[in-house]
Structure 1
Amino acid sequence: MKIANLIDPFRPADGPPPGTFIAFVRWTLKGAWPVLWLAAFVSVLAGLSETGTAWVLGKVIDGVVESGRENFFSARNLGLFALALGFFMVLRPVIFAISNLMTQVVVTPAIAPLVIMRLHRWMLGQSVDFFDNDFAGRLAQKQAQTSNAMTNFVTEAINVVAFALASLVGAFALIVSIDFWLAPIFILWFVAYAGVIRYFIPKVRKRAKARAGARAVVTGRVVDTITNIRTVKLFANAGHEDGSALDAVKTFRDTVIHFGQLSATFRLVLMTLAGTLPVMLVGGTLVAWQGGTATEGDIVAAGTISVRLAQMTGWVSFALMGLYRDIGEIEDGMRTLTPDKQLRNAPGSTDLAISEEEIRFEGVDFAYGRLKGGVQNIDLTIRSGEKLAIVGPSGAGKSTMVSLLLRLYDPEAGRITIDGQDIRTVTQDSLRRAIGMVTQDTAMFNRSAWDNILYGRPEADEEAVIRAAERAEAHDFVTDLEDADGREGYDAHLGERGVKLSGGQRQRIAIARAILKNAPILVLDEATSALDSAVEAAIQETLYDVMSDKTVIAIAHRLSTIAHMDRIVVLDEGHIVEQGSHAELLAQGGIYADLWARQSGGFLGEAAAE
């Protein structure tokens, strides 16, 4: 095994992320702990080598002083020189090299992907409601922020905390060996140092958390504006967006200044305290030397270790600030990312078994947790192979029914079954694999046209992809595509959310994707609304062919697209108020007949006179 692979950076996490800091750290780093402890042990050895530096120098000085000038090259001194050379040129460099290897090659490259992939997998399982209530940019920022902060936290804990603690313990042992009465001086200084840390660090942590939250708001605001840049320009609201972003940036700047003021004060107090350590330890050793209980080498050792600890104090102060800043950012990320909004598979759930493709809504209520909206008391059976249309005014509950069928939400009452299987008892992946869908608001990835079509069935071959594109009337325009990087045809990238395509082109890609998926149940939610009349006519013929052996649910405002369906269900304010064939509903003279009569111009006005 290569040393870089001692930690598996892609190992899945166990269960959901906890909501408390220590438990969250254990969750994110599970599987890496043995290697992290090994890295910390090597860092401890590096810290002890700081004490070894002072001890070796002291021994060399004592040997030289005792032997005098005339015996400078004595065998004893040459042995001490060899010891010093071996320590400074071999042992110490090797220890530091191994320590650096552990952190830079083993730990750091593994922790970042380990954390971000565990968070990303968790996020993928969150319900759509979770994403609807936040900024996409903010969520992405929080994942990256938490991953970076956890990586810094781990590496600083190894490189600084373990190193510094080992240095302190070694220094204390060395000071006690010089003169026992120097120990109270060292302990007094350490207690003062710990008191300063205890006072300042919680404040650093709090202000770091506030700074992280303000930075995430800035990112979310900017990403939200860029994502909707066409709307910004169409409404000439660049000034408004500038003001909105400016308010967020000002708040962020205030938190940065607030953090910086505390940082400067913390640094001043620690550096002042650090300056007292060499004075106290070297002064105490000089007193001991004057009393005959310490040697010249002891003075050098005490001076070396105290100056090194004083220098280290500044480094440790910065590191501890960074450490607690990271803790603050991790906790800030936890608040956003760890809430459990997941719709989980039921215990013992099995894959959906499709036989007849019959769908039943049995007493289904759903109002998004509110008192009004959604659908109420829906009883509906969609027979095997039936082509069912759902129509009604905006807000009547049409899309809610589709969302419930796809189990993006669970009914608040009643149940939905497919071939007698309650969809809450089957795995969500098997349910959604059985349903192909084309929506009005078509989602595209900023990937190639090929990848976007292939998303319907990733294992499909080239012939199947091209055939699906041809049937969706997409092949001709796809072959003419070219992106900014010179990629052409099916290799051309479509831009974020498919922005480089027209609405009609995006829908044809989506239809090709659904054709390729070839699921036994097909849902069409305004599937041809963005197409011009000529393309729509060609696509309709294709869709009729695709629908021939499937159970179909079609939602449409343009009634011409659903007049041929086997049955039409009319929703109003969340209730089924009418159902029947096109002719039957026209004969009833109800809501559907009124909707049909009001279709005009491009919406089949000429047919309304029939």
Structure 2
Amino acid sequence: MILICSSLASAVALIEVALFSFLGNLVDWLNNADRATFWEVHSTRLIIMSVLVLVVLPILKFWYEAVVHQGLIGNFAMRIRWLAHRYVLRQSVDFFQNDFAGRIATKVMQAALGTRDTVMKITEVLVYVGVYFTGAVVMFAASDWRLAVPLVLWFLGYLLVMRHFVPLLGQMSKAQADARSMVTGRIVDSYTNISTVKLFAHADREDLYARDGLRHMLDTVYNSLRTTTRMTVALNVLNALLLFSTGALTIWLWTLDAVTTGALAFTVGLVLRMQGMAHWILWEVAGLFEDIGTVQDGIETIARDRTLVDIPDAAPLIVTKGEIKFEDIGFNYGKSTEGEQRAVVDNLSLTIAPGEKVGLVGRSGAGKSTLVNLLLRFYDLRHGRILIDGQDISRVTQESLREQIGMVTQDTSLLHRSVKDNIAYGQPDASLEQIIEAAKRAHADEFIPHLVDPKGRRSYDAHVGERGVKLSGGQRQRVAIARVLLKNAPILILDEATSALDSEIEAAIQESLYSLMEGKSVIAVAHRLSTIAAMDRLVVMDKGRIVEEGTHDELLRKGGLYADLWRRQSGGFLAREAAE
């Protein structure tokens, strides 16, 4: 497709240069021809040029525009966006936690457009102009070699102007693209956390936060515009010198009878045409370098090497029993563990038998959630292994690993899609009947039939808003539980799964969760200890290590950290009842 564009652009450029040469010849013919025999002598050449102007040139331009607009402009950018999104989507969780989501999305969009425009400008400008300029020099020299001298000198000056200004514009474009994506990131961050902004009455503060970014972006725009002005002035001087020198030289050669009147018309006409093109060329080349700057800025983010990848020929995880083993694992979020500083997870070993229900307990920062994230392979270990049914999770595909694990988190995030789509995310090919059944088991059917979104969509077709903001915390949690119920994975992780529910709904859903746990290996993380007291085994963590293990009653009798945490809970009276 790009080769076709280049060929068509070259053909159009050659014909346009030939038309200026024909104009010079026509002036000579009119000066020297006998009016009575003019058509008889020149009719063939006039007919040929007429066909070129009326038929060939429009057809070539039609096909050029058709290929560019129907084949390249839309498809090229969309494919690049899809490929960039596909790559970014498989980056690690850490990649997204260290940047604005809006900033990343902006860079994906900008880089795609920049890449498309870069290719298009190279195809259109360099090919078209290269052929145009070469043809002009050849035809000038055909009249008299001295006519080509001003054009060559102008071109050298033109190259010097581009060499000086265009790289500067490229650097400024890169800075401008980064500033633009930063501003977008700040604005999207405010919109995403609008509840927090409203809660703390900080609209003015967010205004200043965005305004500071806009001011920085405006500085980059001013720098670019000042450079553009200087570049335009330099080009205007070069163009004036070219027109004057070509016109003066042609008249002088005409006085020496070295060139004809037609040559004067041809050279001056073509110079005037190239003057108009010169501005377009310079802007296009400047735009080319600006696009390159934008692409470079985007590439620095979206094409960053993935830090978490599958090994070559990684096999899919096959879960037959559900045994989970943590073997002497260590992890520390990239921080140093020298001196007194201890790792977040420090030489931890733990085995969860097939079908066993284990509760993870500990103070905040003890490493419970980190242990869950490591099992999901959101991060790679510093040392040790995690095995599921004897298979090292670092040697299986990430997709297959997470397909075998169902998880309900405390901070439930739903997709800005319909309720049906959110529940079916656990099993995309599920029927509507299966989706409704999962919703009933999660007690979500109590509110779903009454949902209506701003576009009038109802019940399971109603959209839930960004991150599920149209639903209450408890409603979001029940949809999330329905999603995991439908997924029905052999390994289940519950991270404060019922924390957003009121006591009545929690009691009802606990029954569903207990039925869901049947035959599954379960890891439950909870600060509210009463929710996991009935687990087969409780594992107490502190400072990245396991400090206690046992059942609820056994740990209470030990009088250690778990017993202390139990006494401190608002439901401490339960501890007294258990002790009695």
TM-score by length of 1: 0.92
Q: What is the alpha-carbon distance in structure 2 between the residues aligned to residue 424 and residue 450 of structure 1?
A: 33
Note if 1:197 corresponds to 2:152.
no
Q: What is the alpha-carbon distance in structure 2 between the residues aligned to residue 221 and residue 55 of structure 1?
A: 57
Q: What is the alpha-carbon distance in structure 1 between the residues aligned to residue 28 and residue 40 of structure 2?
A: 14
Alignment of 1:363-402 (within 5 A): 363-370=328-335, 371=337, 372-402=342-372
2:13–2:131 Cα contact (<8 Å) kept? yes
- RMSD of aligned residue pairs (Cα, Å): 1.5
Match of 1:70 among 6, 27, 36: 36
What is the CA deviation profile of residues 349-377 of structure 1, one whole-angstrom value per residue up to 9, with x for unaligned ones?
11111111100000000011112452111
Partner AA of 2:14 in structure 1: L
Match of 2:505 among 535, 543, 551: 535
Q: What is the alpha-carbon distance in structure 2 between the residues aligned to residue 76 and residue 539 of structure 1?
A: 98
Note if 1:563 corresponds to 2:533.
yes
Aligned residue number for residue 90 of structure 1: 55
Q: What is the alpha-carbon distance in structure 1 between the residues aligned to residue 519 and residue 491 of structure 2?
A: 9
SS in 2 for 1:233: helix
Aligned residue number for residue 25 of structure 1: none
Compare 523-532 and 349-358 and name the one that shifted more: 349-358
Partner AA of 1:228 in structure 2: N
Aligned residue number for residue 412 of structure 1: 382
Match of 1:159 among 124, 127, 131: 124
Partner AA of 1:59 in structure 2: N
1:507–1:527 Cα contact (<8 Å) kept? yes
Aligned residue number for residue 41 of structure 1: 7
Alignment of 1:484-503 (within 5 A): 484-503=454-473
Note if 1:311 corresponds to 2:281.
no
Aligned residue number for residue 454 of structure 1: 424
Note if 1:594 corresponds to 2:560.
no
Aligned residue number for residue 510 of structure 1: 480
Compare 270-279 and 233-242 and name the one that shifted more: 270-279
2:418–2:464 Cα contact (<8 Å) kept? yes
SS in 1 for 2:380: coil
Compare 418-427 and 206-215 and name the one that shifted more: 206-215
2:566–2:572 Cα contact (<8 Å) kept? no
SS in 2 for 1:496: coil
Compare 90-99 and 397-406 and name the one that shifted more: 90-99
SS in 1 for 2:446: helix
Aligned residue number for residue 581 of structure 1: 551
Q: CA deviation at 1:310?
A: 0.7
Q: What is the alpha-carbon distance in structure 1 between the residues aligned to residue 194 and residue 483 of structure 2?
A: 27
1:439–1:527 Cα contact (<8 Å) kept? yes
What is the CA deviation profile of residues 194-217 of structure 1, one whole-angstrom value per residue up to 9, with x for unaligned ones?
111111111111111111111111
Q: CA deviation at 1:470?
A: 0.6
Note if 1:291 corresponds to 2:291.
no
Q: CA deviation at 1:279?
A: 2.3
SS in 1 for 2:201: coil
Unaligned runs of 5+ in 1: 1-34
Alignment of 1:404-483 (within 5 A): 404-483=374-453
Q: What is the alpha-carbon distance in structure 2 between the residues aligned to residue 80 and residue 60 of structure 1?
A: 10
Q: What is the alpha-carbon distance in structure 2 between the residues aligned to residue 336 and residue 488 of structure 1?
A: 40
- Relative to structure 1, the CA distance from residue 336 to residue 602 in structure 2 (aligned partners, 3 Å threshold; closer, same or farther) is farther
Q: What is the alpha-carbon distance in structure 2 between the residues aligned to residue 606 and residue 309 of structure 1?
A: 94
Q: CA deviation at 1:46?
A: 1.8
Q: CA deviation at 1:151?
A: 1.6
Aligned residue number for residue 542 of structure 2: 572
1:57–1:84 Cα contact (<8 Å) kept? no
Q: What is the alpha-carbon distance in structure 2 between the residues aligned to residue 551 and residue 579 of structure 1?
A: 17
What is the CA deviation profile of residues 277-325 of structure 1, one whole-angstrom value per residue up to 9, with x for unaligned ones?
2322233222222222322222221122111111100111221221111
Q: What is the alpha-carbon distance in structure 1 between the residues aligned to residue 158 and residue 326 of structure 2?
A: 68
Compare 170-179 and 90-99 and name the one that shifted more: 90-99
1:374–1:396 Cα contact (<8 Å) kept? yes
Q: What is the alpha-carbon distance in structure 1 between the residues aligned to residue 391 and residue 141 of structure 2?
A: 76
SS in 2 for 1:385: coil
Q: What is the alpha-carbon distance in structure 2 between the residues aligned to residue 601 and residue 174 of structure 1?
A: 96
- Relative to structure 1, the CA distance from residue 603 to residue 431 in structure 2 (aligned partners, 3 Å threshold; closer, same or farther) is farther
2:387–2:393 Cα contact (<8 Å) kept? yes
SS in 1 for 2:333: coil
Note if 1:403 corresponds to 2:373.
yes
Q: CA deviation at 1:66?
A: 2.2
Q: What is the alpha-carbon distance in structure 2 between the residues aligned to residue 298 and residue 182 of structure 1?
A: 10
TM-score by length of 2: 0.97
1:560–1:603 Cα contact (<8 Å) kept? no
SS in 2 for 1:539: helix
Partner AA of 2:120 in structure 1: T
SS in 2 for 1:275: helix
1:60–1:80 Cα contact (<8 Å) kept? no
Compare 439-448 and 269-278 and name the one that shifted more: 269-278
2:358–2:536 Cα contact (<8 Å) kept? yes
SS in 1 for 2:467: helix
Partner AA of 2:264 in structure 1: I
2:377–2:398 Cα contact (<8 Å) kept? yes
Q: CA deviation at 1:607?
A: 4.8
Q: How many residues align?
A: 575
Identity %: 45
Unaligned runs of 5+ in 2: none
Note if 1:224 corresponds to 2:189.
yes
Note if 1:357 corresponds to 2:311.
no
